Amino acid sequence: MKKIFITLSIIISSFTSNATIHVVYVWDGYFQFLDADITIQLGDTVQWLPLDVPAMVHTITSTNIPSGAATFDQIWQAPADTFFQYVPQIAGLYEYECTPHAPNMGGSINVIGGVTGITNAASIESNMLIIYPNPTTDFIHFTESSFVYPYKISNPMGKLVLSGTTNDIVNVSTLSNGIYNIQIVGDKPRIIKFIKQ
């Protein structure tokens, strides 16, 4: 299994550079995109995830994008839709909205710079870090095997609520339901947002 994962990681990384996935949450409670206005590097991915189960139809629709960029118009409705991803191919400002709830439900993606090249296997590994399941109820797992690093979990206000060493998994069962950031203190700090249900 480990050999399959390493082979898959090499294949995937050969098609991507040091790309990052930036998460924007779709919140049905107040009809908002959370972390709606972001700045990313060219080649990074934007992923919209549900913060709660949508009770009505939303869209993720481009309204103003750079010349030559691909438009997007994703219908968002549970239970079929759980996420939507978009990879901007041109630098510039991308604006989007939920068409039924505009102008209150919208956001922007400022795409800057160029794609950086892959430098070595260690940098590939550090950028491939994904936690799962997300949302979670009990444990966070990591896509990297033998992942043992110090971590800090904070709430949206920045208050530290849990810390320790990963030891391949992190037990979050004691946390209250909500959104948290887990910071991995390794060769370079990495912060990943997750939902505890």
What pTM value is reported for the model? 0.50
pLDDT tens for 27-80 read 776 678 887 888 888 888 898 887 777 777 888 999 999 888 889 988 877 665
Bridge partners (DSSP) listed for residue 85:
47
What pLDDT sits at residue 143? 72
For the chain, percent of residues with pLDDT exceeding 90: 13
Whole-angstrom distance, CA of residue 153 vs CA of residue 166: 11
What pLDDT sits at residue 92? 87
Whole-angstrom distance, CA of residue 163 vs CA of residue 150: 7
Reply yes or no on whether the pLDDT at 109 is more than 60.
yes
Smallest CA-to-CA distance from 123 within 183, 44, 188, 181 is with: 188
Start-to-end CA distance of the chain, whole Å, equals: 29
Strands 139-142 and 169-171, sheet pairing: antiparallel
Give all domains of the chain, ordered by start, each with its CATH number: 19-112 (2.60.40.420), 121-196 (2.60.40.3080)
Q: Is 79 helix (H, G, I), strand (E, B) or coil?
A: coil
pLDDT band at 118 (very low <50, low <70, confident <90, very high): very low
pLDDT tens for 135-157 read 888 998 877 766 788 888 988 77
Which strand (E) or helix (H) includes residue 10? helix 2-15
What pLDDT sits at residue 18? 54
Bridge partners (DSSP) listed for residue 20:
none
Which strand (E) or helix (H) includes residue 127? helix 121-127
Please work out, in degrees rounded to the nearest 5, the angle formed at the alpha carbon of residue 116 by the alpha carbons of 111 and 122. 125
What pLDDT sits at residue 125? 38
